[in-house]
């Protein structure tokens, strides 16, 4: 069939499903990913989908990695080509020696295939038309059928997939039988007609352990529930919409009063992003924990309000699930390109606290922590995730919560404090940390009321146009930002196996690709210390790390090197020492890309070791 030797690999390959969106393929593909995980083999799937509801091409790229690498690998070893629209490019993408599974109901000319791949045709439509009469069933079970065929082709345990279906449809027994039947049709056909297994195989392992499989947006919604949020206001925008949907679902589950069925939360779909952040500010000003979820264009629309929240010192939380910009940009593709627009959101001299979760587990923990930080610092806190971790299910450590933990509501004066005669100046720095005390409306009949505004005021919240009052306030806000450095989550440093003059800084969803890149580089004898930044303003350790290395690679998923800009601006680092490693085509960054860039740069530097010459 082909001269190229078919790829042989166990528990280490990439399968890609080319589908039409709206065809019900997503749940079948996800089922398949879960089935592999049930066999103890880590899987990292990614949806590559269009900004469309039905009819456009969509891909589900699944990396199977016994070693546990969850970053995108790139390339494709097995293509399940179910979309005639993208046939040619899908076929072209298969690695030499790779495999093609397709619906062979309609015969295709030889010219539409490649000589160097293994072609596995299954007449899926034909079988479906024979077995089912309902058009919707024909479509849906076609998907389950190819999952069955893959189970045979990859030498997987049929019983494991069968049990998974039973678990997923527990309580809906009719669906279990129908799905298992379709699964078996595909499985049996592959066993009978094709030579199973192929060179790619899944073998039971113990690489999954107690890990959970969940997406970052769900985890953010759950984090907001555990973080004590009671008010959410939002406007639909991809890829953040499901944060609020998850918050709503978890609230219905955990925050419905058992006695009367009433809601211990309020969710409002606002008319736009301006209104959503306005509602969040109003609720937070009035003592509720409140948040919004949005993406880049929403952040742009909220700019004026972020300035008000910063200056009036209102504790709000914003989840920004980043996508490709500028403008509408690439709404269904991933990027880390809102750092600057969030860090300095609004006019005038503003600076904001940012958190960078690496995976769904941290979306949960940092999501919950954001509410404590916002209350403690009385300022907006941004949780910056991105589409890659927000909308894709990812294996991560299970969620945990310390039941002894109590919410840190920050410096709030009670009626008792006021009654006891405590000096209340809304913008007075009594503790030297830049954080003033506040009161919640309605606290005391005669004491503690104040007027909030975005205009200059004195320490007692009285309107003022005096330069001295303005400067007092700005200097206090600067001190508050210094305090924030100590409160944001600390960076995570990993030292190479040998001392190195080179470091790499990364954040957020780049994490698994960076970890794998480090291993690849170590394999080539290249040693790079790494540091994952988890918050802004930068803790002192971040700048220390840079100072401890001659050069530091700053690995990001945007075009302009936005974290690098922040490091240069806020850390006063010599720009020449920060080398950009930038990936921004909308696909998730890969270990191959990072290690390639770093290796190439180091190779170039070895040719002309300028530093060494100067030093000697």
Partner 1 sequence: MTYLAKPKLLRADAPKNTLGYTRRDYEGAISTLCAGCGHDSISAAVVQACFDLDIEPHKVAKLSGIGCSSKTPDYFLGASHGFNTTHGRMPSVLTGAALANRDLTYLGVSGDGDSASIGIGQFAHAMRRGVNMTYIVENNGVYGLTKGQFSATADKGSKSKRGVVNNDTPIDLVALALQLGASYVARSFSGDKEQLIPLIKGALRHRGPAFIDVISPCVTFNNHAGSTKSYDYVREHNDAVNRLDVILPRDQINTSYPPGSLRRIVQHDGSILHLRKLDTDYDPSDRVGAMNHLQERHALGEIVTGLLYVDSSAEDLHRHLNTVEKPLNLLGDAYLCPGSKALEALNASLR
Among positions 348, 416, 441, 609, the unique one binding partner 1 when judged by CB under 8 A: 441
Q: Please state the closest distance from residue 577 (CB atom) to partner 1, in A.
A: 41
Hey, which residues does 324 pair with through a beta bridge? 330
Q: Which residue stretch of 50-58, 176-184, 207-215, 553-561 sits at the interface with partner 1 (rule: CB under 8 A)? A: 207-215
Backbone angles phi, psi at 41, to 5 degrees: -110, 120
Nearer to partner 1, 133 or 260 (CB): 260
Tokens of 189: 């056909």
272 binds partner 1 (CB under 8 A): yes
Contacts to partner 1 from residues 223-262, by CB under 8 A: 225-226, 228, 230-231, 233, 254-255, 257, 260-262
Q: Does 280 bind partner 1 (CB under 8 A)?
A: yes
Binding of partner 1 at residue 206 (CB under 8 A)? no
Binding partner 1 by CB under 8 A: which of 326, 348, 442, 575?
442
Among 184, 422, 444, 580, binds partner 1 (CB under 8 A): 444
Stretch that binds partner 1, among 108-116, 428-436, 449-457, 565-573 (CB under 8 A): 449-457
User: Does 440 interact with partner 1 (rule: CB under 8 A)?
Assistant: yes
Q: Which of 87, 113, 450, 460 binds partner 1 (CB under 8 A)?
A: 450
**Stretch 418-437 residues interacting with partner 1 (CB under 8 A):** none
Residue 340 φ then ψ, to 5°: -70, -45
CB of 558 to partner 1, least distance (A): 29
Q: List the x/- string, 452-481, binding to partner 1 by CB under 8 A.
A: xxxx-------x------------------
Choices 72-80, 268-276, 481-489, 607-615 (CB under 8 A): range interacting with partner 1: 268-276
Q: Left if phi > 0, otherwise alpha if psi is -120 to 50, otherwise beta: which for 472?
A: alpha
Least distance between partner 1 and beta carbon 276 (Å) = 8
Cβ proximity to partner 1: between 358 and 393 the closer is: 393
> Which residue from 525, 583, 515 is spatially nearest to 554, judged by alpha carbons?
583
Binders of partner 1 in range 382-401 (CB under 8 A): 398-401
Residue carrying the six token digits 């940012």: 354
Residues numbered 308 to 347 that lie near partner 1 (CB under 8 A) are: 308, 312
CB of 523 to partner 1, least distance (A): 32
Minimal distance, residue 484 CB to partner 1, in Å: 24
10 phi and psi, to 5 degrees? -110, 125
Q: What is the dihedral of CA 200, 21, 320, 74, to 10 degrees?
A: 30
Q: Kindly tell me which residue out of 105, 288, 300, 456 binds partner 1, with binding defined by CB under 8 A.
A: 288
Residue 265 within binding range of partner 1, rule CB under 8 A: yes
Q: How far is the CB of 367 from partner 1 (least distance, A)?
A: 13
287 is a site residue for partner 1 (CB under 8 A): yes
| Given 56, 212, 459, 602, the residue binding partner 1 (CB under 8 A) | 212
Number of residues that bind partner 1 (CB under 8 A): 72
DSSP track, 45-113? EEEE--S-SSSSEEEEEEEEETT---SB--S-SEEEE--GGGHHHHHHHSPTT-EEEEE-SS---GGGS
Rg (CA), the chain: 27
What is the three-state SS of 279-292?
Answer: HHHHHHHCCCCEEE
Q: Does 609 bind partner 1 (CB under 8 A)?
A: no
Query: Which one of residues 33, 283, 383, 581 is an interface residue with partner 1 (CB under 8 A)?
Result: 283
How do strand 12-20 and strand 57-65 relate by DSSP bridges? antiparallel
Q: Does 293 sit near partner 1 (CB under 8 A)?
A: no
Shortest separation between residue 305's beta carbon and partner 1, angstroms: 6
Q: Does residue number 278 form part of the binding site for partner 1 (CB under 8 A)? A: yes
CB of 286 to partner 1, least distance (A): 4
Instruction: Please give the distance of CA 75 from its chain centroid, rounded to a whole number.
Output: 22
Question: How far apart are CB 403 and partner 1 at their closest, in Å?
Answer: 5
CA–CA–CA angle 69, 368, 209 (5° rounding): 30
CA 562 to chain CA centroid, nearest Å: 18
Here the contacts of 248-256 (C-beta below 8 Å, separation 24 or greater) are 248/221, 249/221, 250/221, 250/222, 250/225, 251/225, 254/225, 255/225
Which of residues 171, 445, 523, 525 is near partner 1 by CB under 8 A? 445
Between 262 and 614, CB nearer to partner 1: 262
Taking alpha carbons only, the member of 120, 114, 153, 154 closest to residue 4 is 114
C-alpha–C-alpha distance, residues 195 and 208, integer Å: 29
Shortest gap between Cβ of 50 and partner 1 (angstroms)?
27
Q: Is 158 in the site for partner 1 (CB under 8 A)?
A: no
Site string for partner 1, 10-49 (x = CB under 8 A): ---------------------------x------------
CB 306, min distance to partner 1, A: 11
| The 78-81 sheet, strands edge to edge | 43-48, 57-65, 12-20, 78-81, 99-103, 118-122
Identify the CA nearest to 227 among candidates 242, 243, 210. 243
Shortest reach from residue 373's CB to partner 1, in Å? 17
Task: Please report the sign of the dihedral spanned by the C-alpha atoms of residue 311, residue 312, residue 313, residue 319.
Answer: negative
604 binds partner 1 (CB under 8 A): no
- Of 205, 160, 150, the C-alpha closest to 12 is 205
> Which phi and psi (to 5°) does residue 133 adopt?
-105, -30
In the complex, what is the shortest distance from the CB of residue 361 to partner 1, in angstroms, rounded to a whole number?
Answer: 11
User: Would you say 347 or 478 has its CB closer to partner 1?
Assistant: 347
Q: From the centroid of its chain, how far is CA 321?
A: 7
Q: Please provide the DSSP assignment of 152-190 as one string.
A: HHTT--HHHHHHHHHHHTTT-HHHHHHHHHHHHHHHHHH
- Give the single-character DSSP code of 524: T
Q: CB-wise, 38 or 73, nearer to partner 1?
A: 38
């Amino acid at each position: 069939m082909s001269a190229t030797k078919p790829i042989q690999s166990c528990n280490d390959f990439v399968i890609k499903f080319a589908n039409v969106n709206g065809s019900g393929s997503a749940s079948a593909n996800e089922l398949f990913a879960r089935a592999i995980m049930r066999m103890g083999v880590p899987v990292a799937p990614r949806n590559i989908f269009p900004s469309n509801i039905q009819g456009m091409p969509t891909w589900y790229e699944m990396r199977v990695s016994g070693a546990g690498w969850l970053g995108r690998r790139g390339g494709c070893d097995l293509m399940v080509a179910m979309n005639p629209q993208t046939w040619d490019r899908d076929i072209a993408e298969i690695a030499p020696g790779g495999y093609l599974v397709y619906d062979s109901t309609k015969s295709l000319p030889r010219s539409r295939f490649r000589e160097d791949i293994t072609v596995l045709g299954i007449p899926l439509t034909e079988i479906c038309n024979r077995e089912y009469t309902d058009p919707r069933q024909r479509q849906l079970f076609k998907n389950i059928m190819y999952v069955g065929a893959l189970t045979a082709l990859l030498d997987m345990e049929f019983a494991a997939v069968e049990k998974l279906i039973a678990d997923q449809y527990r309580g809906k027994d009719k669906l279990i039988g129908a799905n298992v039947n379709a699964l078996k049709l595909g499985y049996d056909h592959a066993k009978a007609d094709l030579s199973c297994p192929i060179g790619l195989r899944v073998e039971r392992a113990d690489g999954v352990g107690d890990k959970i499989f969940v997406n970052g947006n769900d985890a953010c919604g759950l984090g907001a529930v555990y973080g004590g949020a009671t008010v959410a206001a939002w406007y639909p925008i991809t890829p953040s919409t499901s944060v609020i949907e998850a918050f709503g679902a978890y609230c219905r589950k955990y925050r419905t009063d058992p006695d009367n069925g009433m809601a211990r939360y309020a969710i409002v779909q606002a008319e736009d992003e301006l209104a959503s952040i306005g509602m969040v500010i109003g609720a937070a000003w009035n003592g509720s924990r409140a948040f919004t979820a949005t993406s880049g264009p929403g952040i742009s629309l909220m700019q004026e309000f972020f300035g008000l929240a910063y200056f009036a010192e209102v504790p709000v939380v914003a989840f920004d699930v980043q996508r490709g910009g500028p403008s509408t940009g690439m709404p269904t593709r991933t990027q880390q390109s809102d750092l600057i627009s969030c860090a300095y959101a609004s006019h005038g001299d503003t600076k904001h606290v940012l958190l960078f979760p690496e995976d769904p587990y941290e979306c949960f923990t940092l999501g919950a922590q954001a509410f404590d930080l916002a209350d403690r610092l009385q300022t907006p806190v941004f949780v910056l995730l991105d589409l890659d971790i927000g909308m894709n299910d990812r294996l991560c450590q299970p969620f945990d919560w310390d039941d002894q933990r109590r919410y840190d509501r920050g410096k709030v004066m009670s009626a008792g404090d006021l009654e006891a005669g405590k000096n209340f100046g809304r913008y007075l720095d009594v503790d030297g940390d830049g954080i003033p005390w506040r009161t919640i409306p309605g606290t005391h009949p005669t004491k503690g009321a104040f007027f909030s505004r975005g205009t200059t005021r004195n320490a007692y919240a009285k309107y003022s146009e005096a330069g001295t009052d303005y400067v007092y306030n700005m200097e206090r806000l600067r001190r508050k930002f210094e305090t924030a450095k100590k409160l944001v989550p600390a960076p995570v440093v990993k030292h190479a196996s040998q001392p190195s003059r080179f470091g790499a800084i990364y954040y957020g969803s780049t994490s698994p690709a960076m970890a794998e890149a480090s291993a690849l580089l170590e394999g080539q004898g290249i040693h790079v210390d790494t540091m994952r930044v988890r918050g802004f303003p930068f803790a002192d350790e971040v700048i220390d790390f840079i100072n401890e290395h001659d050069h530091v690679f700053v690995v990001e998923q945007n075009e302009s090197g936005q974290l690098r800009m922040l490091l240069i601006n806020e850390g006063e680092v010599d720009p020449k020492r920060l080398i950009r490693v930038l990936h921004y085509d909308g696909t998730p960054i890969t270990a191959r890309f990072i290690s390639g860039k770093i290796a190439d740069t180091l190779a170039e530097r070895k040719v002309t070791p300028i530093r060494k010459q100067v030093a000697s």
